[in-house]
Amino acid sequence: MSSAPLETTEAPPGARDLLLQTASDIMREGDIVDISLSELSLRSGLNSALVKYYFGNKAGLLKALLDRDMAGIVQSVDALLAKDMAPEVRLRRHIGAVVDTYYKTPYLNRLLMRLVRESDPDEAHRIADNYLSPLSRAYDKLIEDGMKQGVFREIDPQMFYFTTTGACDRFFSSRLVLKHCYDTEALTEELRDRYRQHCIDTIMAGILAH
């Protein structure tokens, strides 16, 4: 006997957001880019049927999580570019924000690459158009503004994008290295703060004009 479809009235307030945040927590804590619907239900206290109700299926949930996380990043970068500040100050703030982003969502880059790779062409283009292209244009402006003012040396904005995101992402997605080489798996705030300052100092030292 099939179960009755879930009615709208059965979904508690905030259920959609709770499912997304719980999925985010599971992937962050497990250092993974997948979830079990049974664990999601257990951790959130919600009926797993709500995944189908809100997102269609697990793949839809992962896409919605990517949209939630990436939309916030694009908005924050746009807001930073709109501020009237010196190029060096702006870039230092941005690098710090990238580290904070990957500390909060260490799965994000891996999830992005997985969904681009596994989605149909239309969805892959949607992700690229909404998130990757705007970020690429933002890096063009971040770097070009500094070069025009003589603050940054001549540098390829595209290569700088990969350098910065790669450095910030790699640290927080390398839990096994921390465990086996440094005897810790905990992504603590103290570790985040140390790595944030390290990235800012190291990356800026390589780009500033001397």
Centre a 10 Å sphere on the Cβ of residue 146 and count the other Cβ atoms it contains: 21
Please tell me the CATH code under which domain 62-207 is placed: 1.10.357.10
The pTM (predicted TM-score) of the whole model is: 0.86
Enter the tokens of residue 2.
């099939």
Residue pLDDT, tens place only, 78-133 = 999 999 999 999 999 999 999 999 999 999 999 999 999 999 999 999 999 999 99
* Strand boundaries in 61-108, DSSP class E: none
Name the β-bridge partners of 152: 208
Q: Name the nearest CA neighbour of 79 among 93, 65, 59, 69.
A: 93
Residue pLDDT, tens place only, 131-179 = 999 999 999 999 999 999 999 999 999 999 999 998 888 877 776 666 6
pLDDT value, residue 45: 94
Q: How many helices (H) and strands (E) does the chain have?
A: 11, 0
> What distances in angstroms separate CA 144 from CA 30, 78, 107, 121, 130, one per listed residue?
39, 16, 30, 32, 22
Q: Name the nearest CA neighbour of 111 among 65, 73, 72.
A: 65
pLDDT value, residue 18: 97
> Could you tell me the maximum CA-CA distance found in the chain, to the nearest angstrom?
75
Q: Name the nearest CA neighbour of 97 among 196, 195, 189.
A: 196
pLDDT-derived band at 210 (thresholds 50, 70, 90) equals: confident
